[in-house]
Amino acid sequence: MTTLRVAMIGYGFMGAAHSQGWRTAPRVFDLPAEAEMAVIVGRNADAVAAAASKWGWADSATDWREVIARDDIDVVDIVTPGDSHADIAIAALEAGKHVLSEKPLANTVAEAEAMAEAAERAASRGVRAMVGFTYRRVPAVTFLRNLIAEGALGKINQVRASYRQDWLVDPNMPLAWRLQKEHAGSGALGDIGAHAIDLAQFVTGLKLEKVSGVIDTIVKERPLLSSGTGLSGHAGDGYGQVTVDDIAIFTGRFESGALASFEASRFATGRKNALQIEVSGDKGALAFDLEDLNSVHFYDRTAPSDRQGFRKILVTEAGHPYVSGWWPAGHMLGYEHGFSHQVKDLVEGIAAGTEPHPTFADGLQVQRVLDAVARSSDNDSAWTRVATGVPAAAV
């Protein structure tokens, strides 16, 4: 059996989550290739060595360019802040490595176009690339998508998608990298709004054509971190400017004409990680809430009128997506399982020579929606078209 030797670049929150996926997926699913956790890369030698030991990586290093050049590395998993996604992914693809990149794909459309173009070139050499919109791989989300694809809702008229958190309501939360445009590209819009956009397009199979939105920053200055850039840093000396949005609210029109409303907020007091979607069609409706992630709620308008109502479907049967690898019905999965499903689908795609979804082209399309929302907000929330077409770099 082929062995895929993996290098992970970065070791923050997503480093922990992806490491769990690489550790667990080969022990739960019968994968067509071995996945070897060969090396984890970070700038601080002692900290990344500690992460290697804690998370099960065979080795650690501090120079991602040197690691990507190694012949004994087959896959590069990028879990760094968005400002390094393009440099690392393009170098890895050009070195013939398969790439998994965290979301959003990049910090700008230009970077995302260059990445999609590099992935296009690499695919012709059998090199695969995937972007980490992991919520697609919650069993209930894939099941919801399959029901829509089978026509359970009929014509889709409306979508509501929101991702609400409240970790920034405290003005003393320090100026982490997610609050600095040069590192994160944007704030709630790209960090969690990207998930809501990808989720809405994934489950409906529809693409957003134009958007109208507003983004805003509630707390303009925050305490500087004394060291590091993690979310749990301690306040250092002085204050720094927040250069990204805290809240993004926008409407969208799909290519089909259906309308959508979106909300991405880090100031939704009391909401810890509330990713929610509801899809309304002429035959019924489906709803999902990450805070109740093992189920979907289905309203069937074709049922007899005296027994119509939203009913909860527990998505834990062996026949439901991904569940067969885990436990008997009703034993529930969690947030971390999506990362194992992501590894499963990536390894299976590489082994089969097929393009794992979401592709970098999918990631570019989400990046173009994010960019259109920001441009709309700068233009008094005017309707703004989402760019399409072949990346400029490819022409």
Where on the chain is the footprint of ligand SOE (CB under 6 A)? Answer: 13, 165, 191-192, 273
Residue 53 beta carbon to ligand SOE: minimum distance, rounded to whole angstroms: 24
Q: Which is nearer to ligand SOE, 107 or 165 (CB)?
A: 165
Q: Which is nearer to ligand SOE, 92 or 192 (CB)?
A: 192
Q: Which is nearer to ligand SOE, 185 or 349 (CB)?
A: 185
Q: Which is nearer to ligand SOE, 13 or 327 (CB)?
A: 13
> Smallest Cα–Cα separation from 97: which of 2, 5, 10?
5
Residue 353 beta carbon to ligand SOE: minimum distance, rounded to whole angstroms: 29
Q: Which is nearer to ligand SOE, 115 or 244 (CB)?
A: 244
CB within 8 Å of 62: residues ≥ 6 apart? 41, 42, 43, 44, 45, 48
Residue of minimal CB distance from ligand SOE?
191
Torsion of CA 144, 147, 152, 153, to 10 degrees: 30
Bridge-based pairing of strands 59-61 and 34-41 is: parallel
Q: Are 41 and 67 in contact (CB under 8 A)?
A: yes
Q: Which amino acid is residue 243, in one-letter code?
A: T
Q: Which is nearer to ligand SOE, 39 or 131 (CB)?
A: 131
Residue 272 beta carbon to ligand SOE: minimum distance, rounded to whole angstroms: 10
* CA dist., res. 261 & res. 106, Å (int): 24
Residue 265 beta carbon to ligand SOE: minimum distance, rounded to whole angstroms: 11
Q: Are 213 and 250 in contact (CB under 8 A)?
A: yes
Answer positive or negative: Cα dihedral of 164, 166, 171, 177.
Answer: negative
Residue 273 beta carbon to ligand SOE: minimum distance, rounded to whole angstroms: 6
Measured in degrees and rounded to the nearest 5, phi and psi for residue 257 equal 100, -15
Distance of CA 127 to the CA centre of its chain: 21
CB within 8 Å of 119: residues ≥ 6 apart? 89, 93, 99, 129, 359, 360, 361
Q: Which is nearer to ligand SOE, 191 or 345 (CB)?
A: 191
Secondary structure of 242-262 as H, E, C letters: CCCCCEEEEEEEECCCCEEEE
Residue 364 beta carbon to ligand SOE: minimum distance, rounded to whole angstroms: 18
Q: Which is nearer to ligand SOE, 77 or 191 (CB)?
A: 191
* CA dist., res. 155 & res. 148, Å (int): 9
* CA dist., res. 267 & res. 249, Å (int): 12
Q: Which is nearer to ligand SOE, 7 or 293 (CB)?
A: 293
Q: Which is nearer to ligand SOE, 285 or 293 (CB)?
A: 293
| Number of Cβ atoms within 10 Å of the Cβ of 228 | 15
CB within 8 Å of 138: residues ≥ 6 apart? 288, 290, 293, 333, 337, 338
* CA dist., res. 367 & res. 194, Å (int): 8
Residue 262 beta carbon to ligand SOE: minimum distance, rounded to whole angstroms: 15
Q: Are 357 and 128 in contact (CB under 8 A)?
A: no
CB within 8 Å of 264: residues ≥ 6 apart? 162, 163, 164, 188, 189, 191, 192, 193, 196, 247, 248, 249
Q: Which is nearer to ligand SOE, 36 or 191 (CB)?
A: 191
